[in-house]
Amino acid sequence: MTSPRRTFAIISHPDAGKTTLTEKLLYVGGAIHLAGEVKARGANRRARSDWMKIEQQRGISVTSSVMTFEKDGVTFNLLDTPGHEDFSEDTYRTLTAVDSAVMVIDAARGIESQTRKLFEVCRLRSVPIITFVNKVDREGRSAFELLDEIADVLALDVAPMTWPVGMGGTFEGVLDLKRWSISRPEGDSRTFQGKVDAEPILPDEVREEVELAQAGYAEVDAEAYRNGDLTPVYFGSALKDFGPAELIAALAQYAPPPRAQPAEPAPIGPEEKEVTGFVFKVQANMDPQHRDRIAFMRLCSGTFKRGMKLTPTGHGKPIAVHSPILFFAQDREIADEAYPGDIIGIPNHGTLRVGDTLSERAAVRFTGLPNFAPEILRRVALKDPTKTKQLRKALDDMAEEGVTQVFYPEIGSNWIIGVVGQLQLDVLISRLEAEYKVAAGLEPAPFDTARWISSDDAAALKEFVEINRSALAKDRDGNPVFLAKSAWEVGYVADRYPKVKFAATRER
Ligand code: G4P
């Protein structure tokens, strides 16, 4: 018997404390020995890689990774999502590979824009949420105000699991509402020594607050949580070690184990024997000396064994996976076996793409990994015209990795790239130079947005294509795309061609 799996991500607005919480979870989970290692290792990694200079300059993490740890017989796979403010497809796709999420909010700020966007994606994917209200050791909003905001803004029932005893200057600790014990701060936060007071004497006003809260909010209900109707809420301080241990216990107790994943012809459950999985992320340059890529595959069913042959559905030959990588937080390890819910890294030379389904034999295809309509379009201007071939290769590669999208117009030779956030443009230019030795610049494109077009009526589609040829392009996979000058134009054109569908996302 293998241990239960909990595959989850942390979603938050920048600065809410995701890095600090991640570090503390790994620390409590025994995966790192000193708080501070996550950042230190991050710095080492950055120093090694050229294009990650952007990360350094901006002080953000562009790349996602996977951290695995075990605690009390449960294996946790924590998928990191980039925390910067730019809308990132990478983040969205990562959320397709988790079974649950922890939402971190800053007690002084409440729900912020990025938290909300990410929450909407979780809701779309039916990913249940445990909430962690962070920084209660600082002056923040009242617990009631925060709970009401979560309930109102996200339309969820809230079930407080712990309660802050005082905040900021009067912060005394966190009350566990089930056990009725308080963890009180003690010692240096780096050494994790919250002292548990089993028979606390509560100040009167706290006692009143708690009575009100227990009368006014929902009790935790595992089913409502897993259905995405309720969120258990923990108050704490990642920095001072209030909450991380409780969060791990909550994930073990309530969070869903690996679930069936949407697929064609039918959803695939973890109990199925056949090994299947999908690629939700491709990363180049983990080792800058090599041109290898790592495809991150979420295993959805079966027991994966090293050396197994897996076939990407729809294209390519079987790949023998001889050196799959598991991501124990201390180190990367070669995996001998992996189970549903686990993430394995598959080294390859560009054959595997985001959205690919891999399986032993079955002709299945996982669905629901979207491409998003770009919000920024740019024309790529080559500085040295003899490098056309290299540029095309580079653009195709990066489209494959999901860094940018690329559109080849039907008329003319000015390739257009599309991104959903400014940051992706910087990554593109920097990687073109560093990895492909192609000097290029970006110019404004005469278009502002793109829609994938299709129709059940072939004649209607043909008519549309003929009339609008100057605004048509193909994406990397040859799908027809309509380039529009504005979202308004999309609406206008869609009204005139009711038989043509204009899609803002394309499922792969
Ligand atoms: P992020 O990954 O979500 O962007 O946030 P991060 O963990 O980097 O935390 C953002 C800032 O908030 C950091 O301070 C961090 O120390 C602080 N912080 C995180 N959790 C808590 C908490 O529970 N209580 C308090 N009081 N502060 C917290 P910084 O000064 O920006 O960075 P640093 O110099 O401390 O690393």
The arithmetic mean of pLDDT across residues 365-389, rounded, is 83
DSSP character for 137?
Answer: T
312-330 tens-digit pLDDT? 987 778 888 887 877 765 5
Same domain, 210 and 325: no
* Cis-peptide, bond into residue 257, ω within 30° of zero: no
Does residue 321 form part of some domain? yes
Specify the range with the lowest mean pLDDT, choosing from 230-244, 343-357, 450-464.
343-357
Better-predicted residue by pLDDT, 40 or 308: 308
Does residue 345 form part of some domain? yes
Was 82 annotated as part of a binding site? yes
Q: Ligand 1 pocket, 17 CB below 6 A?
A: yes
Structural domain count of the chain = 3
Q: Is 501 helix (H, G, I), strand (E, B) or coil?
A: strand
Complex ipTM: 0.97
Same domain, 227 and 275: no
The arithmetic mean of pLDDT across residues 223-248, rounded, is 94
79-114 tens-digit pLDDT? 987 655 555 667 778 899 999 999 999 999 999 988
Hey, which of 11, 13, 15 would you mutate to test ligand 1's pocket, going by the most ligand atoms within 8 Å of its Cβ? Answer: 15
454-481 tens-digit pLDDT? 999 999 999 999 999 999 999 988 899 9
Contact 79, 298 (CB under 8 A): no
150-209 tens-digit pLDDT? 999 999 999 999 999 988 888 888 999 988 888 876 655 444 455 777 778 888 889 999
Q: Burial-class residue 459 by CB neighbours within 10 Å (0-12, 13-18, 19+).
A: exposed
Specify the range with the lowest mean pLDDT, choosing from 37-41, 355-359, 465-469.
37-41
Q: Ligand 1 pocket, 13 CB below 6 A?
A: no
Same domain, 384 and 490: yes
Which pLDDT score, from 0 to 100, does residue 352 have? 86
Q: Which residue has a Cα nearest atom 32 of ligand 1?
A: 15
Distance 118 CA to ligand 1 centre (A): 20
Same domain, 235 and 269: no
Which pLDDT score, from 0 to 100, does residue 190 have? 43
Which pLDDT score, from 0 to 100, does residue 91 have? 78
Does residue 2 form part of some domain? no
Same domain, 191 and 208: yes
Was 135 annotated as part of a binding site? yes
Pairing of strands 230-235, 129-134: parallel
Q: Ligand 1 pocket, 135 CB below 6 A?
A: yes
Same domain, 50 and 154: yes
Better-predicted residue by pLDDT, 66 or 217: 217
Which pLDDT score, from 0 to 100, does residue 55 have? 42
Residue 275 has pLDDT above 60, yes or no: yes
Residue 241's domain comprises 8-70+81-254
The domain that contains 349 carries what CATH number? Answer: 3.40.50.300
Residue 348 to residue 346: CA distance in whole angstroms: 6
Which pLDDT score, from 0 to 100, does residue 9 have? 95
Distance 26 CA to ligand 1 centre (A): 16
Distance 14 CA to ligand 1 centre (A): 10
Same domain, 108 and 227: yes
Which pLDDT score, from 0 to 100, does residue 407 have? 93
The residue among 230, 254, 278 that closes a domain is: 254
Which pLDDT band, with edges at 50, 70 and 90, does 53 fall under? Answer: very low
Same domain, 383 and 446: yes
The residue among 366, 399, 427 that closes a domain is: 366
> For the chain, what is the mean pLDDT?
84
Q: Which residue has a Cα nearest atom 17 of ligand 1?
A: 17
Q: Ligand 1 pocket, 189 CB below 6 A?
A: no
The arithmetic mean of pLDDT across residues 286-295, rounded, is 64
Does residue 500 form part of some domain? yes
Does residue 453 form part of some domain? yes
Residue 308 to residue 292: CA distance in whole angstroms: 20
Rounded to two decimals, the pTM is 0.79
Does residue 227 form part of some domain? yes
The arithmetic mean of pLDDT across residues 486-501, rounded, is 91
Percent of the chain at pLDDT exceeding 70 = 85
The residue among 366, 388, 418 that closes a domain is: 366
Same domain, 401 and 291: no
Does residue 24 form part of some domain? yes
Was 80 annotated as part of a binding site? yes
Structure tokens at 182: 């308080």
Q: Is 44 helix (H, G, I), strand (E, B) or coil?
A: helix
421: nearest Cα among 91, 13, 50: 91
Q: Which residue has a Cα nearest atom 24 of ligand 1?
A: 135
Same domain, 135 and 282: no
Same domain, 360 and 381: no
Q: Is 224 left (phi over 0), alpha (psi -120 to 50) or beta?
A: alpha
Q: Ligand 1 pocket, 20 CB below 6 A?
A: yes
Does residue 3 form part of some domain? no
Atom of ligand 1 nearest to the CA of 20: 7
Same domain, 337 and 485: no
Which pLDDT score, from 0 to 100, does residue 60 have? 35
Structure tokens at 265: 């012809």
Atom of ligand 1 nearest to the CA of 104: 3
